[in-house]
């Protein structure tokens, strides 16, 4: 028996699956997320992503594991500016930790997708000297020892592994040109790798559910300007400032999206990538939601929005030819590169009026207030043209217009051209008018 929720969810996910196929994702996993059962849950989702044709680079952290080895040795870790001070003994423990983590990750990924017909087919994993490093040096008079920073990412070598169908696995260690090994930051490597590979997305899997403001509340979406403002005004919690800076640097260097989400929530990675609401915090260079004038490339999306309502008799039917000839009258609401709504605005400038028509929001997004946003946009456009009234004709949604400031009107109040069309029509729509003076 068909499950309605499954069908709805699958249809919502389908455009994202299609979009991500062949794209590169860099996933940075915090050290606290590398223990079972969290690791096995993440590994299952990573296997699923790889099976969908997504190219994956994994960068793991090691802080918790190094601290555990230090505690066993009776040594207290030393930090400065949030970064570990790495002496020779600590560097040895860093190498030990990375070796253990690498094999734990490989073992988890070897399980594959549960209940898959191809259960015996293992995911190939590629490791190597993908990262070259240089010393961090002396900061505020403190020698950081073998703590380093990324010098270069060998993007060509990583790309070759990805093109061959492997997952690239990178540990937070790097060798310098002088042959020394340095302890690096997972976030720094992930950021640098995403930029070097021109990745579609950079994803940080951490403990918190995302980026929190100064009051501890989740921030779901951030543009580059918004993120920069929060950092400058001290409105990001101190322990997340470096993560936000990494995200900001990535989106300002052509990484399309950065996501910060919790690995403690089972399925959070899938939810963030394949649903409209997502989970955690998403970063982009530009705002996530925008309303813009439609173009010819939007016609297919507009047709998919309006066709069900046309077939139900709620909207007047519009042919593709009509849309091609009148596409400049339409505006579309775009959220994260998906079209979720449209509206048309026809001008009658001689009579100082405009008609709002074809206001449609996708059934998958009708709880997002998108209809109100489209209406507000149309009102602003009408006022910008110094027109005095906005009207709409409707057979089914009159209450919606009344609730938002429209008033019932008579055919005599319509512009002459529109009144003639109205009198020749058999729809007998109700007329609603919003004075804008």
Give yes or no: residues 236 and 320 share one domain.
no
Give yes or no: residues 206 and 315 share one domain.
no
Give yes or no: residues 240 and 276 share one domain.
yes
Give yes or no: residues 253 and 390 share one domain.
no
Q: How far apart are CA 340 and CA 345, in angstroms?
A: 17
Give yes or no: residues 46 and 171 share one domain.
yes
Residue 396: pLDDT band by 50, 70, 90 thresholds?
confident
pLDDT digits (tens, 9 = 90+) for 187-226: 999 999 999 999 999 999 999 999 998 888 899 989 899 9
Tokens standing for 134? 């240089």
Give yes or no: residues 52 and 199 share one domain.
yes
Domain end among 269, 287, 305:
287
Give yes or no: residues 311 and 326 share one domain.
yes
How many domains are contained in the chain?
2
Those residues with Cβ within 8 angstroms of residue 361's Cβ, 6 or more apart along the chain or in another chain: 305, 333, 340, 341, 368, 370, 371, 374
pLDDT digits (tens, 9 = 90+) for 398-433: 899 998 989 999 999 999 999 999 988 888 899 999
Q: How far apart are CA 79 and CA 77, in angstroms?
A: 7
Give yes or no: residues 282 and 358 share one domain.
no
Buried b (16+ CB within 10 A) or exposed e, 181-209: bbbbbbbbbbbbbbbbbebbbbbbbbebb
pLDDT digits (tens, 9 = 90+) for 4-27: 677 777 877 888 888 899 999 999
CATH code of 352's domain: 3.40.630.30
Domain end among 287, 303, 318:
287
Give yes or no: residues 304 and 234 share one domain.
no
CATH code of 203's domain: 3.40.1160.10
Residue the block writes with tokens 């173009």: 295
Domain end among 227, 253, 287:
287
pLDDT at 313: 87
pLDDT at 17: 87
Q: Is the pLDDT of residue 96 over 70?
A: yes
DSSP track, 263-320? TTSTTHHHHHHHSSS-SSEEEESS-SEEEEE--GGGHHHHHHHHHHHHHTTSS----H
Give yes or no: residues 18 and 148 share one domain.
yes
Q: Is the pLDDT of residue 292 over 60?
A: yes
Give yes or no: residues 281 and 297 share one domain.
no
Helix/strand/coil for 27: strand
Give yes or no: residues 167 and 306 share one domain.
no
Mean pLDDT of the chain: 91
Contact 148, 176 (CB under 8 A): yes
Range of the domain at 202: 4-287
């Amino acid at each position: 028996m068909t499950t309605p929720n499954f069908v709805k969810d699958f249809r919502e996910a389908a455009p994202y699956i299609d979009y991500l196929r062949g794209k590169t994702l860099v996933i940075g996993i915090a050290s606290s997320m590398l223990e079972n059962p969290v690791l096995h849950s993440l590994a299952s989702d990573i296997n699923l992503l790889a099976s969908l044709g997504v190219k994956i680079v994994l960068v793991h952290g090691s802080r918790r594991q190094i601290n555990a080895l230090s505690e066993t040795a009776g040594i207290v870790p030393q930090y400065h500016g949030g970064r570990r001070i790495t002496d020779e003994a600590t560097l040895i423990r860093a190498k030990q930790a990375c070796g253990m983590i690498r094999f734990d990750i490989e073992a988890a990924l070897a399980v594959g997708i549960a209940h898959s017909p191809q259960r015996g087919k293992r995911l190939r994993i590629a490791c190597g000297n993908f990262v070259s490093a240089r010393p961090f040096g002396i900061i505020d008079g403190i020698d950081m020892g073998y703590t380093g920073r990324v010098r270069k990412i060998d993007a060509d070598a990583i790309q070759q592994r990805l093109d061959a169908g492997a997952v690239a696995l990178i540990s937070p260690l790097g060798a310098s040109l002088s042959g020394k090994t340095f302890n690096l930051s997972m976030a720094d490597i992930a950021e640098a790798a995403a930029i070097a590979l021109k990745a579609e997305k950079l994803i940080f899997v951490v403990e918190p559910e995302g980026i929190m403001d100064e009051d501890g509340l989740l921030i779901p979406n951030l543009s580059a300007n918004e993120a920069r403002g929060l950092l400058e005004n001290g409105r990001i919690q101190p322990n997340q400032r470096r993560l936000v800076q990494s995200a900001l640097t990535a989106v300002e260097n052509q990484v399309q999206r950065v996501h910060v989400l919790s690995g403690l929530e089972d399925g959070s990675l899938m939810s963030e990538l394949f649903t409209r609401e997502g989970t955690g915090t998403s970063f982009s260079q530009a705002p996530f939601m925008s309303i813009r004038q439609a173009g010819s490339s939007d016609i297919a999306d507009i047709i998919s929005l309006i066709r069900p309502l046309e077939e139900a008799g709620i909207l007047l039917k519009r042919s593709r030819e009509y849309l091609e000839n009148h596409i400049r009258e339409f505006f579309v609401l775009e959220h994260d590169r998906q079209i979720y709504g449209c509206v048309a605005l026809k001008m009658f400038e001689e009579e100082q009026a405009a008609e709002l028509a074809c206001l449609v929001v996708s059934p998958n997004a009708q709880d997002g207030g998108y209809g109100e946003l489209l209406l507000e946009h149309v009102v602003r456009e009408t006022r910008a043209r110094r027109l005095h009234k906005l009207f709409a004709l409707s057979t089914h949604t009159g209450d919606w217009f009344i609730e938002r400031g429209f008033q019932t009107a008579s055919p005599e109040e319509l512009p002459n051209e529109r009144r003639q069309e109205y009198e020749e029509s058999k729809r007998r729509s109700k007329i609603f008018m919003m004075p804008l003076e």
